Every structure is written in structure tokens, then in C-alpha cells.
Amino acid sequence: GSSSSAAPPQGDGDIVQRRDRKRPTMSLVGEAIMDTVDTRDSGGSSLSGLKMKAIAGKFRHKVHAQSELHRKMSSAGYATIDAEALVDGEQTASDGEHGRARLSQSAKDMAALGSILRHPFTVLLLACPLGVVAHLRRWGALCTFWLNMVALVPLAKILGDGTEELAASIKNDTISGFLNATLGNAVEMILSVQTLRKGLLSVVKATLLGSILSNILLVLGTSFLLGGIVGSKTVVGKHHVIYNEDFQVSTCTGEKEQLFSSKSALVSMGMQLIACMTCALPTVFYCGGGLSHGHGSEVGPDMQAQKMLEVSRISAIIIMLSYVAYVVFQLVTHKRMLTVDEGAESDEEEDEDSGMSWWSALILMGATTGIIAVSSEMLVGAIEEVVEKSSISSSFIGIILLPFAGNACEHASAIRFAIQDRPGLSIGIAVGSSTQIALFVVPFTVVMGWALGEPMDLVFGSMNTAVMILSVLVVLTLVIDGRSNWLKGFMLCTAYVFCAVLYWYMPPPLE
């Protein structure tokens, strides 16, 4: 709004100013909403939906660099910062920044590795050797299962960070986005392959369904819930509005609403509906008796299973083609239209000379993948005995426990961004990850089952299909308006807990 030209009275000026600061007018709130919805003329950087994980990697680098600089400045001063990592022994003091050094590639690799390992979840790596010892020493299936599942949490984070480093080192937005989109769910792919090799097809399907549900219900719900409760420093921000006339900065606040661009989220949810259709139609076709008769004579169970396999494999190829089209749409043909203005600083120049080299990232990813393969093989091998000796069903293990272990760190990143009033990044991680699973990992498991000689199909069962379709529809209705609050988050978390209770009591088999 426009300010009045008349000066306030001498004695009331401070009172008027305080009242103006405490009571934002609805016109200011409306302007903030319009500025957030229409981001084409904003000065912030534009980030496509498939680049969210790269942004998370840049934030990780920045936090690590700032903490390292603060620690070294406090201990030795500017003159001795990273003296061994200087190129030709010279420090650059240009642009008024004292003590800024140009690091060698080996120092960059070590700094990037430090930023990856400096995380609270790294302590859980102790469970990895303990899980191997439990398997070799035969401490029992329960001990082997839980130790290896806990070990997957930090291993999944390291593999994801290695993928971000590899994508950042290529210096090409399209290829980097494709790598993040394809390898972002490598843990689920490795777990699926190991489970397929054991012939546990029901656990594979449950893990895929659980990964989708945990992303769109639990992660997105927790992000909306905490993002709508945790207080902000201002009444009106680029991505939040607090409708409170007596606003005061506090840890928790009411009347808060977060704002985000819904274009990319709607595209992802639409693609998920397509993926749900490709799983629902084969299930209805199979359960509804579509294969029970053929050419006037009854078809036996073996012939039904064979025809269903053919339908599933053809459908898997179609879904993978849809995923390729989705990536091309996001990264090539419509990357400007689907930008999400998150108000981030332009980190391209700042991060241009930082981070791992491509070969170091490949070594890290290869080593981590090998460890994950060994740990997941021991984990999968203990599932059947755990189901027999405990009250945990295979459905609950596949839908609740395994997806949580593989995505815990990614979930934490999405929730942290929501608390920081960056809902676009949070939604990009949660919805984008579930879309990758539905469009890429699900058909990937069908193709891998084909290669391994396992009858992996797209018949997920009527219960699982109903849960998946209803969950996607619920999330679609909540993100369509581009706004979030704590009530929406609470409803999504409630839906996830309700599904967990159902699968806890669901008897085997999953189908």
C-alpha cells in the first residue's frame, strides 16, 4: 500500500510505527501472495523440479564450508587457513575476502567427503560391520535384520550424496538432472534386485508401494505439519504468510500458511496417476476374471500367469517410455515453464570450483553400492525367519520398515527445508522421489525379474491398488491450490498411520 504524506503527531509517531509493524494489512498479504504465485519477474534463481537434490547438495557444501572456516579462523586465524591445500602456495585476497584460497582437486575431494560424512546419521555406520558379524557368527535372524536395516540409513545418504557430487561435476544441467532423477532411488533398486533374487515377489511389491506412500503421505505430511507450526521471523515472506495482527517472533505460531508453485507438483502427481493406472488395470484385469476364459474354453492358472506376465512386461516398457518423456519435458522442452522460484542465491559461480571430481564421486558410489548390496543381501535373507519368529508381517516389513531405512536421510532433508520456509524444495524432494519410483523403479523391477527369470508382474492386489490410488488422489487435492498449513500435514500423517495399522494386521500373502 502507499504511505500517507502527512506526518503523525509528535507524541504518537512511535505508537503509529509500532502498530504498523505489528499489523500487516491484507493488501500487503495479497501482494506477497501474488509475488509468490507469479515468479516470472522475481529476482531469485529459478530451479526446476528435477534439480531439487542438487540444491540440497549445494546447501550441504555451504554449511560445511562455513563451519570449517569458522573453526579454523577461531583456532589459527586467516593466515594459516588450509596452508597445505593452496595452489603454488599463494592465497587470493581479491574482492576484499581475506584468506580465501584456491584448493587443489585432492583438497576439494576431501572437503566434499567431509561434508558428506559430517552428519549425525554417520554414527549408524557402526551397524554395518556389526551386521556382517551377526550374519557370520549366527547371532540370529532378528539381530541380523535390524543391524543391516539400521546400516542402510547412512549408506543410503552417502550414495545419494555421491550421486549429487557426480551430477554437479558434469557441469551440464540436463545430464545432471537426468542422473539425479535416475540414480536418486538407487537403494530401492538394489533392494528390489536382492529381494527378486530370493524370490520374495510380495516383499518387492510391498517395498515399492511403501516407498511411494512414505514420500507422498509421511514426508509431505510431516513437512506441511512442521512448516505450518514452526514460527517465522517475519509476518510476510516470499513463501509464507501469517494472518495474525498481533504477530510476535516465537518458536511456534498460528495462522501460518506456506506458499509454493503448484505447476511442477501437479505434473508429478499427474504422472503418478498414470503409473497408478498401469498398476490398477492389470490388477483389475487379473482379479476380475479377464483371463479366465479364452476362445470359448477355460484357461488354466499357468496360462493365466503367463499372459499376465506378458501384459506386465509390455506395460513396464510403456511406463519407462513415459518416464523418459517426463524427464525430457522437465529438463529440455519445458524447463523454464516448470521453474520453481525458491529465492535462493545464485550458487553456480560459488560452487563452480568446489565439490568432488567425477572419478572420485564414481569411486565413492561404487564402494557404497557394493556395501549396500552385501548389507541388503543379508537383510533380505533374514526376512523369512523374522516373519516366522516374530509378530511382524512381511507386508509391514516391505511397506513401512524397508522404505524408511532407504529414505530416512532424504526425508529429513525435505522436512528441514519445510521448517526453513522453503516448501517448494520440500515438495520437489518428496513428490519427485515418489514419481521416480512409480515411473522408473516399478517397471525396472519387472524388467529385472524378466532378466532373472522371476515372474514379477504388475498385479499388486486390490488392497494395495486401492491404497495407492486413493493416496495419490488425496495428495493431488491438497497441493492443487499451491498452499499448505499444519492441518493438511496432519491429515496426510493420519492417512499414513492408518495405512500402517492396516498392514500390521494384514495376513500374508500380500496378494
Q: What is residue 323's predicted lDDT score, i.e. its pLDDT?
A: 86
Q: Is the pLDDT of residue 406 over 80?
A: no
141-146: average pLDDT: 90
Q: Is the pLDDT of residue 29 over 70?
A: no
Cell of 146: 535390524
Q: Is the pLDDT of residue 307 over 70?
A: yes
Range of weakest confidence among 61-75, 106-120, 363-377, 381-395 = 61-75
Q: How confident is the model at residue 239 (pLDDT cuts 50, 70, 90)?
A: confident
315-320: average pLDDT: 90
- Report the b/e string of 247-270 with b at 16+ CB within 10 A: beeeeebeebbbbbbbebbbbbbe
Range of weakest confidence among 68-82, 120-134, 235-249 = 68-82
Helix ranges, 118-185 (H):
127-136, 141-169, 173-183
Q: Give 371-404 pLDDT, tens digit per residue.
A: 888 888 898 888 888 888 888 888 888 888 888 8
282-300: average pLDDT: 65
Q: Is the pLDDT of residue 203 over 70?
A: yes
Q: Is the pLDDT of residue 73 over 90?
A: no
Q: Is the pLDDT of residue 485 over 50?
A: yes
Write out the H or E segment, with its range, that includes residue 346.
Answer: none
Q: What is residue 257's predicted lDDT score, i.e. its pLDDT?
A: 86
Of the two residues 57 and 422, the one the predictor is more confident about is 422
Q: What is residue 61's predicted lDDT score, i.e. its pLDDT?
A: 55
Q: State the pairing for strand pair 256-259/293-294.
A: unpaired
Residue length of the chain = 511
9-25: average pLDDT: 44
Q: Among residues 181, 178, 180, which one has the least CA distance to residue 162?
A: 180
3-class state of residue 30 by DSSP: helix
Q: Among residues 235, 219, 215, which one has the least CA distance to residue 415?
A: 219
* 53 to 209, 372, 427: CA distances (angstroms): 22, 21, 11
Q: What is residue 494's predicted lDDT score, i.e. its pLDDT?
A: 94
Q: Give 242-288 pLDDT, tens digit per residue.
A: 877 776 777 777 778 888 877 777 877 888 888 888 888 888 888 76
Q: Is the pLDDT of residue 223 over 70?
A: yes
Q: What is residue 327's predicted lDDT score, i.e. its pLDDT?
A: 81
496-502: average pLDDT: 92
Of the two residues 493 and 33, the one the predictor is more confident about is 493
Q: Is the pLDDT of residue 292 over 60?
A: no
Strand partners, 297: 294
Q: What average pLDDT is seen over the chain?
A: 74
135-160: average pLDDT: 87
